[in-house]
C-alpha cells in the first residue's frame, strides 16, 4: 500500500521502519530537512520537507492516490488538520496521534466528525499497559486480547522455581490450571513449544489464559504476591496522569514525584487523590523520604531514558516492588534487557503496533480480520487475534486434523465471551476470535497458519 507518514519524530521513524519492512510504499513528510534526510538515508523511502497540513505538500507527496495518511507530529491540532485535508483532497484513510488529556473525553466524537480511521494516544496506551502489569507483579509483559477476556503474559523462571525442569505435558497435572504455555525465549531464540518441551531456569516463558485463570496459575506456581497497595511514580508527564488515575481507581495509593512546581500544581488539581511531591526523583534522599523501599510498585517515567534506567536499578536494589520503566529510545535494547530492571513500557512501539494492525487489516481481503496484534521478544514473534468469518478453511474441523504450520500455536479461542484453551478435538466456529502465537511475522489472515498444499 501507499502510505504517507507526517512527522519524523520517534513514533514517525518507528512507523517508517516497520511499515517499510512489511513491503509498503512509504513517504515521510517533516518540516525539518535534517530529520527527513536522516530517515531517507537509513530507510529506502521518499521524503518531502514541508508542512504536512499543506494541501500542496500533500499533493506533491502523492496523497491523491495514497491508501493511508498517518499524522504523528508533536501537535495534536496539526495532526487532526493533516487528516482533515487528506480526507477531503485525497479521500484516503487517516490516522491521527492525539495526546492531550483534554481531548481524551472527546475522542469518539472527534473521530466520527472528522471521519478518522483511528485516533491513538501513545501515553494512554502505555499507561493502560503499565496498569495491567500491576495486576501481575511477577509478569514482565501482559498483552490483552478478546476485549480483556484473555491475556498473554511473560515471566522468567527463576532459580528454584517449581516450573524448572518440568515438561509441558506434566504442567497441567502438577498445577491443575487451565493455561497454555505458548512460547519460550531461550538463548535469544523464540521457541513454539510442544508437549515434551522441558522448561529450564532463566527461560522467558509466555502463557495464555483468562485473567482469572492466570491469577490462579501464578498463585499455584508460587509467583503471585499480595495485591499492590502503594505505588511510587517518578515523573509527572501525561503517562503518569493516565496511570495514576487507573491505579487509584483500582484502590492503589499513588505517590508522584515531579521536579517542576507548575506541573505539580496541575497534577494536584486533576488527580486530587494522589500524593504529589515536589522534588527531584533522581535524588536518593527524596526517594528515601517517600519510602520507596516499602512500595509495591515503582514506575520510572521521566523524559530521560538514562534516568529511568538508573531509577529502576535503585528501586530493584532497595525494594521488592514491581518495577516498570518507560523507555523512549530502544537503541540499546539488548543491554537494557540484561540489566533485568523489570517491565519496559515503550509508547512509540505500542503506537506502531496498533497502526500496523490496522494497516494489515486494510490489506486483508476479508476486511478487519485482525482484531489485535502484539509484537513479542524484540519482534521475533507475534500474537494475533483473528475474527473467523464464513468460508475460512479452519472452520468445522478438529484442530488435530488441521495442517497447522510448525511455527504456529493456537493459544485460545473466544466464543461468545468464553475463553477456551484449545485441545486436539476443539473446533473453530464462525464468529469466534482466535489468538495465534507465531514466530513468523506478517500474517494477515487466519488461513495463513495452515501449511501450503
User: What does pLDDT average to over the chain?
Assistant: 90
pLDDT tens, position by position, 238-265: 999 999 999 999 999 999 999 999 999 9
Per the CB < 8 A criterion, the answer to whether 157 and 202 are in contact is yes
pLDDT surpasses 60 at 367: no
For residue 314, how many other CB atoms are within 10 A of its CB?
Answer: 20
Supply φ then ψ for residue 97, to 5 degrees. -90, 125
- The domain spans of the chain are 2-120, 134-220, 230-319, 367-449
Rounded to whole angstroms, the Cα distance separating 331 from 42 reads 14
For residue 408, how many other CB atoms are within 10 A of its CB?
Answer: 18
Q: Tell me, what's the pLDDT at 364? A: 60
* CATH fold for domain 2-120: Rossmann fold (3.40.50)
HSE toward the beta carbon, residue 401, CA cutoff 13 A = 10
- CATH architecture observed for domain 134-220: 2-Layer Sandwich (3.30)
Same fold across 134-220 and 230-319: no
- Grid cell, residue 398, equals 478438529
Q: Tell me, what's the pLDDT at 358? A: 84
Radius of gyration of the chain (CA): 23
Least confident of 5-19, 83-97, 245-259, 349-363: 349-363
pLDDT surpasses 70 at 392: yes
pLDDT surpasses 50 at 365: no
pLDDT tens, position by position, 27-81: 999 999 999 999 999 999 999 999 999 999 999 999 999 999 999 999 999 999 9
Among 3.40.50.720, 3.10.105.10, 3.30.470.20, 3.30.70.1560, name the CATH number for the domain at 230-319: 3.40.50.720
Q: How many residues does the chain have?
A: 453
Closest CA to 278 of 259, 265, 291: 259
pLDDT tens, position by position, 110-163: 888 888 889 999 899 999 999 988 988 888 889 889 888 999 999 999 888 889
Closest CA to 145 of 417, 358, 393, 388: 417
Q: Tell me, what's the pLDDT at 435? A: 95
Mean pLDDT calculated for residue range 200-217? 92
- CATH architecture observed for domain 367-449: 2-Layer Sandwich (3.30)
Query: Beta partners for 189?
Result: 186
Percent of the chain with pLDDT over 70: 97
CA distance to 6, 74, 232, 257, per residue, from 110 (Å): 19, 18, 34, 33
Rounded to whole angstroms, the Cα distance separating 448 from 265 reads 53
Amino acid at each position: 500500500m501507499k502510505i504517507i507518514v507526517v512527522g519524523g519524530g520517534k513514533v514517525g521513524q518507528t512507523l517508517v521502519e516497520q511499515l517499510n519492512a512489511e513491503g509498503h510504499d512509504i513517504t515521510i513528510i517533516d518540516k525539518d530537512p535534517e530529520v527527513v534526510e536522516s530517515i531517507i538515508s537509513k530507510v529506502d523511502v521518499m521524503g518531502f520537507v514541508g508542512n504536512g497540513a499543506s494541501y500542496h505538500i500533500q499533493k506533491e507527496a502523492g496523497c491523491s492516490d495514497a491508501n493511508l495518511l498517518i499524522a504523528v507530529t508533536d501537535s495534536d491540532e496539526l495532526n487532526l488538520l493533516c487528516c482533515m485535508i487528506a480526507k477531503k483532497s485525497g479521500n484516503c484513510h487517516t490516522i491521527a496521534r492525539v495526546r492531550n488529556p483534554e481531548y481524551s473525553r472527546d475522542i469518539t466524537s472527534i473521530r466520527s466528525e472528522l471521519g478518522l480511521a483511528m485516533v491513538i494516544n501513545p501515553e494512554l496506551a502505555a499507561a493502560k499497559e503499565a496498569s495491567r502489569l500491576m495486576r501481575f507483579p511477577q509478569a514482565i509483559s501482559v498483552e490483552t486480547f478478546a476485549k480483556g477476556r484473555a491475556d498473554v503474559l511473560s515471566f522468567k523462571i527463576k532459580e528454584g522455581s517449581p516450573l524448572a525442569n518440568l515438561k509441558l505435558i506434566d504442567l497441567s497435572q502438577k498445577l491443575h490450571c487451565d493455561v497454555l504455555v505458548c512460547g519460550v525465549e531461550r538463548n535469544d531464540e523464540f521457541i513454539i513449544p510442544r508437549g515434551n518441551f522441558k522448561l529450564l531456569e532463566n527461560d522467558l516463558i509466555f502463557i495464555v489464559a483468562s485473567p482469572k485463570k492466570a491469577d490462579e496459575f501464578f498463585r499455584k506456581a508460587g509467583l503471585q504476591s499480595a495485591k499492590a497497595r502503594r505505588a511510587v511514580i517518578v515523573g509527572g508527564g501525561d503517562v503518569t496522569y493516565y496511570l495514576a488515575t487507573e491505579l487509584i481507581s483500582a484502590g492503589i495509593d499513588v505517590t508522584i514525584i515531579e521536579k517542576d512546581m507548575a506541573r505539580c500544581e496541575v497534577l494536584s488539581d486533576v488527580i486530587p487523590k494522589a500524593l504529589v511531591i515536589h522534588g527531584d526523583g533522581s535524588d536518593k534522599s527524596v526517594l528515601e523520604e517517600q519510602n520507596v523501599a516499602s512500595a509495591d510498585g515503582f514506575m520510572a517515567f521521566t523524559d530521560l531514558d538514562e534516568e529511568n534506567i538508573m531509577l529502576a536499578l535503585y528501586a530493584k536494589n532497595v525494594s521488592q516492588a514491581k518495577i516498570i520503566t518507560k523507555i523512549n529510545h530502544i537503541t540499546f535494547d539488548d543491554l537494557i534487557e540484561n540489566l533485568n530492571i523489570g517491565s519496559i513500557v515503550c509508547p512509540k512501539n505500542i503506537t506502531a503496533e496498533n497502526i500496523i494492525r490496522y494497516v494489515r487489516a486494510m490489506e486483508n481481503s476479508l476486511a478487519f480480520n485482525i482484531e489485535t496484534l502484539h509484537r513479542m521478544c524484540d519482534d521475533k514473534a507475534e500474537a494475533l487475534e483473528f475474527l473467523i468469518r464464513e468460508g475460512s478453511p479452519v472452520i468445522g474441523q478438529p484442530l488435530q486434523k488441521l495442517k497447522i504450520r510448525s511455527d504456529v500455536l493456537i493459544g485460545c479461542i473466544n466464543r461468545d465471551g468464553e475463553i477456551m484453551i484449545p485441545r486436539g478435538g476443539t473446533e473453530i466456529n464462525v464468529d469466534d476470535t482466535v489468538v495465534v502465537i507465531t514466530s513468523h511475522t506478517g500474517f494477515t489472515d487466519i488461513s495463513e497458519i495452515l501449511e501450503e498444499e
